[in-house]
Chain A
Amino acid sequence: MSAQLKLAEPKITMRSVTKRYESARGESVEALAGIDLDVAAGEFLTLVGPSGCGKSTLLNIVAGFEQASGGEVVMDGRPIAEPGPERGVVFQEYALFPWLSVAGNIGFGPASRGLGDAEVSRRVERCVAMVKLDGFEHKYPHELSGGMRQRCALARCIANDPDVMLMDEPLAALDALTRLGLQDELLRIWSEASRERARTVLYITHAIDEALYLSDRILVMSHRPARIRREIRVPFSRPRDPEVRTHETFHRLSDEIWQLLRREI
């Protein structure tokens, strides 16, 4: 990303964001301990951390599914209070509507926002092509493979034209080979969608290589309560070349992240 973007007003700002839960036994559990974070417009930012560290909580707060216990979360100058279509979400479990076809799922957002039938089907057509699901428009989710379901979920998110895409371990449920393929697809789709205007991605994973391959910037999180342990700027140019995985720098960074995470497990 260019230097100008860093100077520009951040897309999302978090200041001392904390989150406490009441556990089933009535104990207070601290999930987030004062998170400060700026996400630049058009940035691909990834949170890496051990399972259950609270990174999903952070994403749910940005999505508006959960409320922070303290601090503030601001997007485009307005505090985030509830879910909204400008923040699209891609879930690990796909969360497709089983009663709708592929086309129905992809068109759900545009139709919900009151766009006309013609515009909805134009968007569906475009997004189906973008995720290469041509010929599967009338299939139901249960008729698709895991990889195809996640493509469909991705298309459903893109079709709604969000500024920010929140992705909670979107590839974690897939087998290793499908995952590698979808990493490239994800980058291609993101850059295609970014041609019209900046699309910011907040991505969660516990796969270090995935984080390095996809992101502009990686934040390594500590164990619960989550703090930001380190920020890593990923130096590889875009579009990403799959060969980058064999670079010496890739391995050095991967090792660095691993050393940080190892202490947290």
Chain B
Amino acid sequence: MSANGSTSRAARLGEIGWRLLVPAGLIALWYVFTEIVPLFHHVMLPSPLAVIRMLQRLVSNGELARHIVASLERILYANLGALALGVPLGLAMGLYRPIDRLLDGIISMFRPIPPLAWVPLSILWLGIGTLSVVFITFLAAFFAVLINTIAGARSVERLHVRAALSLGVSRRRMMTHVVMPSVAPYIFTGFRIAIGVSWMSIVAAELIAASSGLGYMITYYREVLRTDAIIVGMLTIGIIGLLMDILTRRIEQWLMPWRQGLHLS
């Protein structure tokens, strides 16, 4: 909101520079200790130039894109499933005590089981392939969405409910126009966490139970000792994760403009 545009632009540039300082420094160190003073064998740590060459190769032969698409597709299905099940269940548990009592015990017991502990069973039940990976990733995302939706449903303010009741709101409209907007920010937080944990579990699941995807790509190149390709896979995951987080934040701001001021203050 500065009246002086050039000052704020300079401040923005300064901020971006400040953010890039540590990554740039790390890359410089990496370059120095691999290319100029080689401290590591290239299998242990290849130079950034080798990684870039490998990246070019994997991009031009389409291999990287194929694995990205495979992983993204699984993440999409897993998270759609997590939202479709986690939101209604979370609302029901957060709003209705009897349903909470009915399900709280079993959910609290299953939640601490790491998704990866499900790998053997899911391979037995669903076989090796996309279905297994989606199932494992779904489990991770589902609990994140569920727990946050429950918290959101419990945080609906009594004052808002009372205000709406004395304005003559119907039961149905109370759900759509008071409860949902109150819970929406929590669902979004759950969704963002779900995206994050789905990347963690999908890579691990693909290490074992798939023949495509970024996780599979990383295992494959470990077996042939191509560390440069492993690093390409790791950085790809990091960058996609970052982009997805930025995207979900943007969507959140767009869907819930009233929250912008709350973030800033």
Q: Mark A118-158, 1 if CB is under 8 A from B, else 0.
A: 00000000000000000000001111000000000000100
A97 within 8 Å of B by Cβ?
yes
Closest 5 CB pairs of A and B: A85-B168, A109-B167, A83-B165, A99-B181, A95-B163
* Interface pair A93/B159, CB less than 8 Å apart: yes
- Which of A63, A87, A108, A166 lies at the interface centre, i.e. has the most chain B CB atoms within 10 A of its CB? A108
Interface residues of B (CB under 8 A from A): 157, 159-160, 162-170, 173, 177-178, 181-182, 184, 256-258, 261-262, 265
* Interface pair A89/B168, CB less than 8 Å apart: no
* Interface pair A112/B164, CB less than 8 Å apart: yes
What separation, in Å, do the CA atoms of A141 and B168 have in the docked complex? 21
Given contact pairs A65-B166, A160-B167, a sample of 13 additional A-B residue pairs in the complex whose CB atoms are under 8 Å apart:
A63-B166, A65-B162, A83-B166, A95-B160, A95-B163, A97-B181, A99-B184, A100-B258, A108-B164, A112-B169, A140-B261, A142-B258, A166-B166
Residue in A closest to B184 when the chains form the complex, CB atoms:
A99
* Interface pair B162/A156, CB less than 8 Å apart: no
CB contacts between A and B, total, < 8 Å: 72
Chain A residues positioned under 8 Å from B257 (CB to CB): 140
A-B contact pairs, 21 of them (CB 8 A): A63-B166, A82-B165, A83-B162, A84-B166, A88-B166, A89-B163, A91-B159, A95-B163, A96-B163, A99-B182, A99-B256, A108-B167, A108-B177, A109-B167, A112-B164, A112-B169, A112-B170, A113-B168, A141-B258, A143-B261, A156-B167
* Min distance, Cβ A75 to any Cβ of chain B, angstroms: 13
Chain B residues positioned under 8 Å from A99 (CB to CB): 181-182, 184, 256, 258
A64 within 8 Å of B by Cβ?
yes
Chain A residues positioned under 8 Å from B262 (CB to CB): 142
* Min distance, Cβ A57 to any Cβ of chain B, angstroms: 14
- For B167, give its contact among A98, A112, A166 (CB under 8 Å): A112
What separation, in Å, do the CA atoms of A232 and B261 have in the docked complex? 46
Instruction: Please report whether the interface of chain A is mostly helix, strand, loop or mixed according to DSSP.
Output: loop
What separation, in Å, do the CA atoms of A108 and B184 have in the docked complex? 19
Q: Mark A165-192, 1 if CB is under 8 A from B, else 0.
A: 0100000000000000000000000000
Chain B residues positioned under 8 Å from A87 (CB to CB): 166
What separation, in Å, do the CA atoms of A63 and B161 have in the docked complex? 13
Residue in B closest to A87 when the chains form the complex, CB atoms:
B166
* Min distance, Cβ A246 to any Cβ of chain B, angstroms: 37
* Min distance, Cβ B171 to any Cβ of chain A, angstroms: 11
* Min distance, Cβ B205 to any Cβ of chain A, angstroms: 37
* Min distance, Cβ A257 to any Cβ of chain B, angstroms: 29
Chain B residues positioned under 8 Å from A100 (CB to CB): 181, 258
Residue in A closest to B163 when the chains form the complex, CB atoms:
A95
Chain A residues positioned under 8 Å from B159 (CB to CB): 91, 93, 95
Chain B residues positioned under 8 Å from A83 (CB to CB): 162, 165-166
Quick one: given A99-B181, A140-B258, are A89 and B164 in contact (CB under 8 Å)?
no
What separation, in Å, do the CA atoms of A126 and B257 have in the docked complex? 26
* Interface pair A84/B261, CB less than 8 Å apart: no
Chain A residues positioned under 8 Å from B160 (CB to CB): 95, 97
What separation, in Å, do the CA atoms of A160 and B163 have in the docked complex? 12
* Min distance, Cβ B22 to any Cβ of chain A, angstroms: 34
What separation, in Å, do the CA atoms of A93 and B257 have in the docked complex? 22
* Min distance, Cβ A213 to any Cβ of chain B, angstroms: 26
* Min distance, Cβ B104 to any Cβ of chain A, angstroms: 23
- Which of A91, A99, A166 lies at the interface centre, i.e. has the most chain B CB atoms within 10 A of its CB? A99
Residue in B closest to A156 when the chains form the complex, CB atoms:
B167
Chain B residues positioned under 8 Å from A63 (CB to CB): 162, 166
What separation, in Å, do the CA atoms of A142 and B258 have in the docked complex? 8
Chain B residues positioned under 8 Å from A141 (CB to CB): 258
Residue in B closest to A92 when the chains form the complex, CB atoms:
B159
Chain B residues positioned under 8 Å from A93 (CB to CB): 159
Chain A residues positioned under 8 Å from B258 (CB to CB): 98-100, 140-142
What separation, in Å, do the CA atoms of A112 and B166 have in the docked complex? 11
* Min distance, Cβ A181 to any Cβ of chain B, angstroms: 24
What separation, in Å, do the CA atoms of A65 and B162 have in the docked complex? 7
What separation, in Å, do the CA atoms of A66 and B38 have in the docked complex? 77
